[in-house]
Structure 1
Amino acid sequence: MMRAEEGCPLCGGPASGETAEERQAWLTALRRRLGIARLPPDILVSVVVPVYNEEATIDEILRRITDSPVNKEVLVVNDGSNDGTSTKLQHWKDHPRVRVLEHPRNRGKGAALRTAFAEVRGDVVIIQDADLEYDPSEYSALLQPIVDGEADVVYGSRFVSQGPHRVLYFWHYVANRFITTLSNMFTDLNLTDVETCHKAFRREVIEAIRGTLKENRFGIEIELTAKVAKRGYRIFETGVRYYGRTYQQGKKIGFRDALQALWCIVRYRFRD
């Protein structure tokens, strides 16, 4: 396991001035606390972070990601942000684990993921939204079935977790359950949360499908599911904690995206 970077004020971790042995002991204890003691040290994880107008959360989510005790690279795609996000990302461009990719205009989450997928170098690819709804401390749950050789793809479900789950938006819940059920009917899967934004893939899976991906907005979630299901990849689910935010806090998905999801379910059942 590669040690966390030193000398970066954004990385967090134990107090400065500790010895190498103290640093390693801290990392080992953290790995055990997060349940990833069995993660092989030579596995590189590519964490993909699509970002659009997340000035309030971008520093915190990147701090949490870089603090996570996994060997990682972080690919941030700034999708044409027009608030203070771009300014804050400037401070991360010198971080040894972070690469910032730029879209000159807003193109959507799907487009941002395609840009990042073309650049990943890791053995496993994790999708991490920048809005703090999903916590990087859940990486252990996403990674372990892949590391154990049981899964090719792992979805972090908000509906099978025993951990904290913010209570919000009844009609969002109804729409999600309906979309998930319809998607399952077309893919012959039994997922509980097709719209989850916390997913992990073996890199070979991403390489196999990235040239076929078409969706620019949130329809990418349905498209990814349809394409991994159609190719027969082993898909697992694991429960993750979820800290949903309100529209006042910056939530972006809406009714139009629900309609697009329904269209994508039908489209990618019959087209690749």
Structure 2
Amino acid sequence: MIKEIKTLSIIIPAYNEGPTIHFILDKLKKVALLNNIEKEIIIVNDCSKDNTEEAIKTYISNNPELNIQYYKHEVNKGKGAALHTGIQKATGEYLIIQDADLEYDPEEYNLLLKPVLDGFADVVYGSRFMGGNPHRILFFWHTIGNKFLTFLSNMFTNLNLTDMETCYKLFDTKIIQSIQLQEKRFGFEPEVTAKVSRIPKIRIYEVGISYYGRTYEEGKKIGWKDGFRAIYCILKYGMLKL
């Protein structure tokens, strides 16, 4: 059964992305979605200390044809908190999470949309560890850590994901808005995965995507402390199912 979708919300949490955020917005501007789906871009500035707000407002002013909604946290709360704000503000039928950096390619939104448009999926994860798309070669231990966290998450959710920690996650907006999310930082990924997996008859798909990773010098923010928090969240929210 072919599903018709009219609008897609794209949620961008932003923290100190002033020098680069216009690049990702330029990419979003050029993306042509399948079936002429309209884009709603929601940017949540998590109290950046650089010129992120100025860069966003300038971009909005120079591109009035784009449907960009801008929100700002008055105190820094974390990526997860910015996502909570964006999710609750979304009005599209489906929503996708997009980091403000250049690690993921918006041209691949259509890869995530296809299982939904074909009538098979409610949730789609974009995996960096499957398929033949380009991947920048960077950190061995990050890769091992991501695969370990995915393995641990799968043990509790009984899913067979290859990349639980991926940024690219596509959700039915009504479904994700109905979930009470708590994690303020990078614990969002294991928490939302655990809670989505418990929804009766939920249809979760995974597709291969590209990955253009950043070094810490280029602005990468996640660290080893976030890895330990992810383990805690997998155990905390996974145990709720047992």
TM (norm. structure 2) is 0.92
Is 1:172 aligned to residue 139 of structure 2?
no
User: 2:231 corresponds to which residue?
Assistant: 262
The residue identity in structure 2 corresponding to 1:137 is E
Deviation readout 1:146-195 (Å, 9 max, x if unpaired): 11110110000000021110001000011111111000001000000000
Question: Structure 1 residue 39: deviation in Å?
Answer: 8.5
CA separation in 2, counterparts of 1:253 and 1:168? 14
CA separation in 2, counterparts of 1:205 and 1:167? 35
User: 2:221 corresponds to which residue?
Assistant: 252
Partner secondary structure for residue 40 of structure 2: strand
CA separation in 1, counterparts of 2:238 and 2:120? 25
Partner secondary structure for residue 177 of structure 1: helix
Return 5+ residue gaps in structure 2 as ranges. none
Partner secondary structure for residue 92 of structure 1: helix
Is 1:154 aligned to residue 124 of structure 2?
yes
Question: Structure 1 residue 66: deviation in Å?
Answer: 2.0
Is 1:129 aligned to residue 99 of structure 2?
yes
8 A Cα contact 2:3 2:119, kept in partner: no
Partner secondary structure for residue 238 of structure 1: strand
Call closer, same or farther: CA 1:186–1:39 in 2, change over 3 Å.
closer
> RMSD value over aligned CA atoms?
1.5
CA separation in 1, counterparts of 2:119 and 2:174? 13
Partner secondary structure for residue 204 of structure 1: helix
Higher RCO by CA contacts (8 Å cutoff, separation 6 or greater): 2
8 A Cα contact 2:46 2:82, kept in partner: yes
Larger Rg: 1
Partner secondary structure for residue 222 of structure 1: helix
TM (norm. structure 1) is 0.82
Is 1:198 aligned to residue 173 of structure 2?
no
The residue identity in structure 2 corresponding to 1:166 is R
8 A Cα contact 1:146 1:202, kept in partner: no
User: 2:80 corresponds to which residue?
Assistant: 110
User: 2:49 corresponds to which residue?
Assistant: 82
Question: Structure 1 residue 270: deviation in Å?
Answer: 2.8
CA separation in 2, counterparts of 1:92 and 1:238? 31
Question: Structure 1 residue 207: deviation in Å?
Answer: 2.1
CA separation in 2, counterparts of 1:46 and 1:120? 6
The residue identity in structure 2 corresponding to 1:226 is A
User: 2:240 corresponds to which residue?
Assistant: 271
The residue identity in structure 2 corresponding to 1:186 is F
The residue identity in structure 2 corresponding to 1:86 is E
User: 1:213 corresponds to which residue?
Assistant: 181
Deviation readout 1:58-94 (Å, 9 max, x if unpaired): 0010111122113110000011111121110111334
User: 1:222 corresponds to which residue?
Assistant: 190
Identity of aligned residues (%): 49
8 A Cα contact 1:77 1:116, kept in partner: yes
CA separation in 2, counterparts of 1:254 and 1:85? 22
Return 5+ residue gaps in structure 1 as ranges. 1-37
8 A Cα contact 2:3 2:116, kept in partner: no
Q: Point out 4+ residue stretches in structure 1 off by more than 2 angstroms.
A: 92-96
CA separation in 2, counterparts of 1:178 and 1:270? 18
CA separation in 2, counterparts of 1:145 and 1:97? 25
